[in-house]
C-alpha cells in the first residue's frame, strides 16, 4: 500500500469552512489547518450565510455547524437554524459535499435544547462524511447519533498547537510577570469559561486546600454573566484564588502555561479538549475527568502527562494530582504525527474521496486506495 498517494486526477477544489480563518484569534486550530490545506490546490473561504447562498462550493467543511443555536435570543437562534436548513438543502441540490468534523456532540450548554434537537435531525442525514479526532470520539458519535453509522467516517488527530503560540519565557519569568508566590504550586484553569467546564466547583475545591498547598489561576473570558458572578462570589477574598477573567491574547498565553505546575480541566461534560492539547504544547501536565475522549488522550500521551480521575474532583484528588504533577520527571510529550502539513494532506485526501465516492467502495473497514492507513476510514 502506498501511504499518502494522491488520486490520479486532482482538480482545484472550492471549500467553505465553518470556521476557516475568521476565528483564528479564538482558536487557531482551523487557521493552522487551512493555511496548509490551501497549499494543496484548495481554495478555502470562511462559511457565511451569504457565501453559502451565492457561491458554489465543492465541499462545505463544518466544524461547528450548531453555532446557529448558540445565540441566547430564541428568535435569533430559530431564524439562523431555519436559514441553515434551507442552505443545506440548496447545497445538496447543487451537489456540494457536506463534511462535519466532530469536535463536540452538542452545544454543551444546551441553551435551546428543543431547537438543537430539531437542527440535528435535519443536519445529520445530509452528511457525506464525518471526521473524528479519536477512535473513541467516533464510537461516541455513533452512539449519540446512530444515523452516522451509515456515513463514511475518518479519524484524524488534533494538531500540534506549538506553531501558533510564542514560548520563550522561563518559569521564573512567567511567575514574576503574574506576581505568583514563590514555592507554592500553581494550578491553571485556562480558556473560555462556560457552564459545562466546572470552574465554580473547582474554586470551591481549591479553597479547601491550604494557602501554602496551591494557588489557582483562572484565566479566560467568561461566556455567561451569571457564571462570572458565581465564580467571583465563590472566590471571595480567598488568597489562593487569582481571577484573570478576560480574553487572554496569544502573546500572553505563554505566561500562564509556563507559570503553572498543573493544568486542571474539571469538565462536567466533554468530548475533545483543545485546552488539553494546548497544555501539552507547553509541556504542562493535565488533569481531566474520565469523560468523552479523555481516557484515550491519556493513553495517547501517557500517564506522565495526562491524569484521569473518576467522579467529581475533591480536595484529596487534587492534592494527589499536585503531588503527581510536581514529583514526576518527564520527557517532552510525543507530538510526532500531529504536524499541520500532514493533517492537511489527510484532509485533502478525504475531500478527494468525497468528490469520488468510488474510492471508498473497497475500503472494507481500513483505508485503501487513495486513503492512508492513518485515516482509519469506516465506510457505510
Count the helix, strand and coil residues of the chain and give each as a percent rounded to the nearest 5: 45, 15, 40
- Co-location of 148 and 183 in the same domain: no
Strand partners, 309: 289
> CA gyration radius for the chain?
22
pLDDT in the model for residue 361: 53
pLDDT in the model for residue 349: 96
* Unique residue bearing C-alpha cell 431547537: 115
121: in domain = yes
- Co-location of 25 and 99 in the same domain: yes
* pLDDT averaged over 10-residue windows placed end to end, the chain, 380 residues: 48 95 92 98 98 97 91 88 96 97 84 89 96 97 97 97 96 96 95 94 96 96 92 94 95 97 96 98 98 98 97 97 96 96 97 83 39 53
380: in domain = no
- pLDDT tens digit sequence for 294-346: 999 999 999 999 999 999 999 999 999 999 999 999 999 999 999 999 999 99
- Co-location of 109 and 193 in the same domain: no
CATH code at position 242: 3.40.50.2000
305 C-beta neighbours (distance < 10 Å), count: 23
How far is Cα of residue 252 from the mean position of the Cα atoms in its chain?
Answer: 20
* Unique residue bearing C-alpha cell 473524528: 132
> How many DSSP H helices and E strands does the chain contain?
13, 12
308: in domain = yes
Strand partners, 264: 287
The x, y and z cell numbers of residue 313, run together, are 474532583
Q: Report the domain count for the chain.
A: 2
- Co-location of 354 and 263 in the same domain: no
- Co-location of 154 and 243 in the same domain: no
Q: Residue 246's closest CA among 224, 220, 268?
A: 220
Q: Are 379 and 369 in contact (CB under 8 A)?
A: no
Length of the chain measured in residues: 380
The x, y and z cell numbers of residue 262, run together, are 498543573
13 C-beta neighbours (distance < 10 Å), count: 20
Reduced to 3 states, what is the DSSP secondary structure of residue 378?
strand
The range of the structural domain enclosing residue 174 comes to 162-327
pLDDT in the model for residue 370: 40
What's the CA gap between 87 and 85, in Å, rounded?
5
- Co-location of 172 and 202 in the same domain: yes
3: in domain = no
- Co-location of 152 and 169 in the same domain: no
Task: Work out the burial of residue 340: count CB atoms within 10 Å of its CB; fewer than 13 is exposed, 13-18 middle, 19 or more buried.
Answer: buried
Amino acid at each position: 500500500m502506498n501511504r499518502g498517494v494522491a488520486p490520479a486526477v486532482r482538480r482545484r477544489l472550492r471549500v467553505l469552512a465553518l470556521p476557516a480563518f475568521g476565528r483564528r484569534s479564538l482558536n487557531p486550530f482551523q487557521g493552522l489547518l487551512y493555511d496548509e490545506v490551501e497549499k494543496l490546490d484548495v481554495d478555502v473561504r470562511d462559511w457565511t450565510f451569504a457565501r453559502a447562498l451565492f457561491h458554489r462550493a465543492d465541499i462545505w467543511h463544518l466544524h461547528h455547524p450548531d453555532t446557529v443555536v448558540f445565540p441566547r435570543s430564541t428568535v435569533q437562534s430559530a431564524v439562523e437554524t431555519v436559514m441553515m436548513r434551507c442552505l443545506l438543502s440548496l447545497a445538496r441540490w447543487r451537489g456540494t459535499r457536506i463534511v462535519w468534523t466532530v469536535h463536540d456532540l452538542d452545544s454543551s450548554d444546551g441553551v435551546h435544547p428543543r431547537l438543537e434537537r430539531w437542527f440535528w435531525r435535519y443536519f445529520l442525514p445530509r452528511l457525506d462524511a464525518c471526521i473524528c479526532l479519536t477512535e473513541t470520539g467516533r464510537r461516541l458519535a455513533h452512539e449519540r447519533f446512530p444515523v452516522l453509522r451509515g456515513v463514511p467516517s475518518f479519524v484524524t488527530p488534533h494538531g500540534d498547537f506549538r506553531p501558533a503560540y510564542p514560548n520563550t519565557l522561563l518559569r521564573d519569568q512567567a511567575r514574576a510577570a503574574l506576581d505568583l508566590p514563590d514555592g507554592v504550586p500553581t494550578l491553571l484553569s485556562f480558556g473560555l469559561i462556560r457552564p459545562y467546564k466546572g470552574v465554580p466547583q473547582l474554586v470551591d475545591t481549591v479553597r479547601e486546600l491550604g494557602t501554602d498547598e496551591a494557588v489557582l489561576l483562572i484565566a479566560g473570558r467568561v461566556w455567561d454573566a451569571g457564571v462570572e458572578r458565581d465564580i467571583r462570589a465563590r472566590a471571595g477574598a480567598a488568597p489562593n484564588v487569582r481571577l484573570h477573567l478576560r480574553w487572554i491574547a496569544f502573546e500572553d498565553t505563554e505566561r500562564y502555561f509556563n507559570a503553572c505546575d498543573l493544568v486542571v480541566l474539571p469538565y462536567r461534560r466533554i468530548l475533545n479538549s483543545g485546552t488539553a492539547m494546548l497544555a501539552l504544547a507547553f509541556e504542562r501536565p493535565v488533569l481531566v475527568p474520565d469523560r468523552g475522549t479523555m481516557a484515550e488522550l491519556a493513553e495517547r500521551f501517557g500517564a506522565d502527562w495526562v491524569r484521569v480521575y473518576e467522579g467529581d474532583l475533591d480536595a484529596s484528588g487534587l492534592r494527589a494530582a499536585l503531588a503527581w504533577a510536581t514529583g514526576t520527571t518527564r520527557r517532552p510529550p510525543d507530538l510526532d504525527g500531529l504536524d499541520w502539513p500532514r493533517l492537511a494532506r489527510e484532509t485533502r485526501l478525504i475531500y478527494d474521496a468525497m468528490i469520488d465516492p468510488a474510492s471508498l467502495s473497497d475500503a472494507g473497514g481500513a483505508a485503501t486506495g487513495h486513503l492512508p492507513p492513518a485515516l482509519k476510514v469506516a465506510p457505510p
